[in-house]
Amino acid sequence: MASALEAAHRLADLRGRPGPLRDDILDACRSTLLKGEETGDAAPVMAELMAWLTGNALGEIPPSAGSPPLVEAVRARARSLGFMLDDGERRNRDLDIYRKDRHRDASRFLHGLVFVSAGFGQRTAGPDFRQGVELDRLHEIWSVMWSPMVEARLIELSADGDTLESAVAAEAARRLRDLREHGRGHSAIAAIELFVAASQAGIGDRAAVILPFIADEVTHDPELAGVAQALRDLVRLWRSAVMIGLDNCEPLAELIGAAWRRVLFLLPNLATCSEDHVSTAVNGLVILREVVELAANELDTLDTGLFDEGIAALLTADLHPALAGAVAAVACLAGRLEPSALAARITGELGGAYAEAKGRVAYLGGLIAVSRELLWTVPELVTAMDEVLAEADGDGFIALLPHLRLTFSRLDPQDIDRLARIVADRRQGAAAQLTRPFAVTESAFAANLELDRAVAAELALAGIGEGAAA
């Protein structure tokens, strides 16, 4: 007797062929279903029978009934790009968007239908040009399915124009108007997302009408981090202009210049940054360092020399230690601060510049946030940290330990191994020993440490050991 899965496969093979079901297949299905009711294994056969009986073909409205031009235009374009509209089957479409013009046109067509919420396709993989993620991925993967709901949505949009591009442009105008009227605070990032989506949807340079709104939002944003994030997104778009359908990059380059000038204007405000905003300010410097790396020597509108001068001016300001560490890292990378001076500051900070352990580690945390590679490109840093920690007593080291753990959590496993090798080489030991697991748990270690302190106190009372009275 055939299994349910085998019968399902046989039905699937016959599905699509003309003519009635053969009696032997029906007999196999009948017997399999009877057995499947006992074993609970009848579902595959039932699914295939349902597909056979219901089918997947879609009908069409007769020409005499008429159809809005937008619907006909979308249907014609979909067929010209190789999409199947005759049934309701869901299919995957692999688009080589970097190397094939037709595939790039299909991508913009699909992005356009997504933009107007038509429900025809859903992208499951591909590069993200705004976030700068998977840009080396050559293909977009889409899941597509034509249905009456797609046509219903297009009929709703038929008043916006006779082409998909017209519908996209009208929808972009509506969303931009909503941002102007109902935007919460500073909406530069939301406007950039709208600009990217509209550009990828195939309206190209017509999406540039969104740029003045972005410029207005950026020039009125009082937070350095917000402007830095918008600037980074704009630089990424500029680098991927061809892929998102922009033929004229000049307006985008001008907007990048305006955002950069806003950064230079806001940079001195870090000197008066409150403690509540330190984390945000450090993140802003991290983003700006990324911007400089992305656009160095490529965009004339970004004068990195002025930025370096602004950072150097902050070196003498009375900053929160975390922000001071971030500023020092940026200055060191730009050649405005000597590595020896950076190491000396680390020694002073870790050695007790602040009463609380958290404050003593904050400078190092800001430095690592901006540039973890300084730990192995500036040997003086590891030397300074090693010497300070070696001189710390037990209580002092235990106080620093949780904050050091949090600070070094910014490093990935490879970075940690690299740093471990540097420390091991300095102490002429084996790096593998630093990462070797021990059977003692953290709680057991804490209990043993407390016991050690109690024994040391008893020895001191008895006049024995380092704590004994002279």
For residue 285, give Cα distances in angstroms to 239, 257, 319: 21, 18, 14
- pLDDT the model gives residue 28: 57
- pLDDT the model gives residue 427: 75
Helix (H) or strand (E) holding 229: helix 224-239
Q: Which residue in this structure is represented by tokens 């740093």?
A: 419
Three-class secondary structure of residue 139 per DSSP: strand
For residue 362, give Cα distances in angstroms to 8, 333, 353, 356, 383: 64, 19, 11, 10, 18
339 exposure class (CB count in 10 Å sphere: 0-12, 13-18, 19+): middle
Can you say how many angstroms the Cα of residue 403 is from the centroid of all Cα atoms in its chain? 27
Q: Are 221 and 227 in contact (CB under 8 A)?
A: yes
- Return d(Cα 90, Cα 124) in angstroms, integer: 13
Range list of H helices, 354-441: 357-370, 374-377, 379-391, 394-408, 413-426, 431-434
Question: What is the SS3 string spanning 232-265?
Answer: HHHHHHHHCCCCCCCCCCHHHHHHHHHHHHHHHH
Mean pLDDT of successive 10-residue stretches along the chain, which has 470 residues: 55 54 56 56 58 53 65 92 85 90 92 92 88 82 90 91 91 89 72 89 83 89 90 88 80 90 93 90 92 79 87 91 93 90 86 74 91 87 84 79 85 84 77 67 80 83 62
Region of 335 on the Ramachandran plot (φ > 0 left; ψ -120 to 50 alpha; else beta): left
Angle at 178 (CA atoms; ends 175, 183), nearest 5 degrees: 120
Residue type, 158: S
- Return d(Cα 111, Cα 203) in angstroms, integer: 11
- pLDDT the model gives residue 470: 46
Q: Is the dihedral of CA 192, 198, 200, 204 positive or negative?
A: negative
